[in-house]
Each structure stands twice: as structure tokens, then as C-alpha cells.
Amino acid sequence: MDEVITTAHGSGGRATGELIAAVFAKAFHDEMDDAAVLSVNGSEKIAMTTDSFVVTPRFYAGGDIGRLAICGTVNDLLMRGAKPAYLTAGFILEEGTKVEELSRAVTSMAETAREAGVTVVAGDTKVVEGHGGSEPQFYINTAGVGLMNGFGDAASVSAAGARPGDAILVSGTMGDHHAAILGARLGLEGTIRSDNAPLVDMVRNLLQAGVRVHTMRDVTRGGLGTVLKELATSSKQVFRIEEEKIPVSPAVKSFAGMLGLDPLYMGNEGKMALIVDEADAELSLQILRASKYGENAARIGKVEAPVADTPEGSVILTTAIGGLRSIDVLQDEGLPRIC
């Protein structure tokens, strides 16, 4: 384990995993998770999650830190199959933060909360010294409670739920948020919009239709490659995906090509990967495409049982030119402060 924190520990990739293992899992005996399912007085179940948001710039094409702070936590709850209900908001403000700017972000939070059907029920504000010279920053933490089975039976939804024969889908184009943030930092604002969105509509529609969803995971920091590697590992299966089937918008494709980035490791903030029973794959695609923010949903691969030369946890990508590539979690630093 490194001795000091670096930006790589915030990447959502390998270094983040090492920090969690060395510091958090040790102290909390693995009781901590991205989102947890909990009992309330025995019978009722809730899901609970938290995320902090430090994105820079705080306002960008397609979203802002306020919209992001609602979507991030709402989507985490949805991925457990819960109906998002209540959020808290904690603000850490640097001295010198413009009240007008804070107010714009808070207004955006309120609008996004209404869109997502959640209520922000409690808040807290702290002030810290500024960075001395550089523009003052502010950070937002949200925590959320969702109602299990609020949208229908979510008992089959788990990170380890993939089974041989299952279909692997994504709800839309990859890399849009990453490209929007990086574009804004490079002064290319406006060419690519972030996909910053709450996925309430598509998850509700899938669960209410009784689709056998085995796994849902929002594709954020670390990108699709990291998400699929983690899900293949936890389900102990092999994932086979086809590069040509992964939707990437022409603008993001050309942006990524120009900068030498791989869309497989570019984060989103309004997309999910899902693994469904093969018999429900076509129905799932129809539902996704008819849902808000799901018009570019696609089937990208399938789950197979591990065999000798492709052990459990393998993610094998067939490239556009027919080669095979083994996919791992994000190894490098990733883009700092993407969310």
C-alpha cells in the first residue's frame, strides 16, 4: 500500500480497490459496500448508499455538480433494484465560494430530485479555508435511502447474479460524461454533452414488467471495462463482449480517437450495464429503448461458464478487427475528479 493518497486512489480502478482493502475493509470487517440492503424493524427492507461529488468544472454541457449529486446516489439505489425515496445532502464550501454559484447548483439538485421522484430530507453545511489563490471549490455529499421492492421484486438482482447463457446489455452510449468533462477542461465546451441522468424510468419499467434482471450496475468511474471485470469476478463467470456492439456516439468516438482514449474506460453518469436472462433479452432491449435515456440501448455480449483457458472472472473482448483482448479493471490514474 502507498504511504500517501494520490489521485489514482480516486480513480475507481485498481488503486481505489487497494485503498478500500487496506484501510476501510480492515476497520469495518467488509461490512461496507457501494450500497447496502438493510432491515427496518424486521420486515421492511431498505437500500442505503452514499457518494461525494468533487467534479471539476462544476458546470458543464449536459449537467452540473448538483444534478450529478442527485443522479449518482439515485442510480446507486436503483442498481440494487430499490425505489429511490429519501436523500440527504452535505455541503463542504471553501471560503470565497460565490453564493450565486452555490445557489445554481442547489437549484439544479432540487430540479433533478423532482425528476427522479426523491425528496431531499436533511442537509448540513460546513465551511473550510480556500486554496489560497485558486478558485474556491465546493463539494457535495449525498446519501440515499431506497425502498426495496418499491418497483417490483428485486430479489434476483445482485452483483454476483450473472449466469452462463445470460445476455449482457448496456443502456446507451459509453463515455459521454468523461468526454464532456475532459472537453470542458480543454476548452472544447459544447461539442459533447454529459449523459448526467437519473435511471429511474428504465429500472422501474424493467422491474414492473417482471424482466429477470440478474445484475444492474451504473457505469461511472473506471468505465465499462472496470464494471464488467468486477461483475465477472463476483459472479465467477466469463463475459464475452464484442467491441463493435458497444454503442459510442460519433462525437465521443472521434474525441477519444484524437486523444488516444479507450471508450471502454471512459466514465458515464447516466448509463448502466445489465445482465438479464437470455429469454428476456429482447424484451429488455425494447423496454430500455422505450424508456427515458435508453434510446441507444444495445446487447453487447453474453455470459459463459469458465473453462480451462478462460478462468472465472475473465472478460474477453472481440475487437473490431476480430482479435481477442482480455479486459481488466482500470489500471492507471484515470481522469481525476470526473464525479
Q: Does 92 bind its own copies (CB under 8 A)?
A: yes
What backbone torsions phi and psi does residue 83 show, to the nearest 5 degrees?
-90, 110
d(CA 286, CA 245): 16
Q: Does 90 bind its own copies (CB under 8 A)?
A: yes
Binding to its own copies (CB under 8 A) within 138-177 occurs at 138-139, 141, 143, 145, 147, 150
Where is 48: in which H helix or E strand? strand 44-53
d(CA 322, CA 324): 7
Q: Among the candidate windows 24-32, 165-173, 191-199, 315-323, which touches its own copies by CB under 8 A?
A: 24-32
Task: Rule CB under 8 A: choose which of 21, 28, 210, 257 binds its own copies.
Answer: 28
Nearer CB in complex with its own copies: 218/280: 218
Task: Rule CB under 8 A: choose which of 65, 79, 106, 238 binds its own copies.
Answer: 106
Q: Does 196 bind its own copies (CB under 8 A)?
A: no
Residue 99 has a CB neighbour count (10 Å cut-off) of 8
Q: Among the candidate windows 250-258, 268-276, 302-310, 331-339, which touches its own copies by CB under 8 A?
A: 331-339
Q: Reduced to 3 states, what is the DSSP secondary structure of residue 204?
A: helix
Retrieve residue 257's grid coordinates.
Answer: 480517437
Binding to its own copies (CB under 8 A) within 29-88 occurs at 31-36, 38, 40-41, 43-44, 46, 48-54, 85-86, 88
- Evaluate whether 335 touches 8 at the Cβ level (below 8 Å): no
Binding to its own copies (CB under 8 A) within 108-127 occurs at 109-110, 113, 119-127
> Smallest distance, Å, CB 112 to its own copies?
11
> Smallest distance, Å, CB 327 to its own copies?
23
DSSP letter for each residue of 230-277: HHHHHHT-EEEEEGGGS---HHHHHHHHHHT--GGG---SS-EEEEE-
Q: How many residues does the chain have?
A: 339
Nearest C-alpha neighbor of 276 from the set 337, 216, 204: 216
Nearer CB in complex with its own copies: 107/208: 107
Nearer CB in complex with its own copies: 82/169: 82
Task: Rule CB under 8 A: choose which of 102, 170, 197, 272 binds its own copies.
Answer: 102
> Smallest distance, Å, CB 21 to its own copies?
12
Q: For residue 57, is the peptide bond before it cis, meaning its omega torsion is within 30 degrees of 0?
A: yes
Bridge partners, residue 303, by sequence: 239
Q: Does 319 bind its own copies (CB under 8 A)?
A: no
> Smallest distance, Å, CB 261 to its own copies?
20
Nearer CB in complex with its own copies: 77/162: 77
d(CA 17, CA 71): 23
d(CA 254, CA 304): 32
Q: Among the candidate windows 2-10, 167-175, 262-270, 271-279, which touches its own copies by CB under 8 A?
A: 2-10
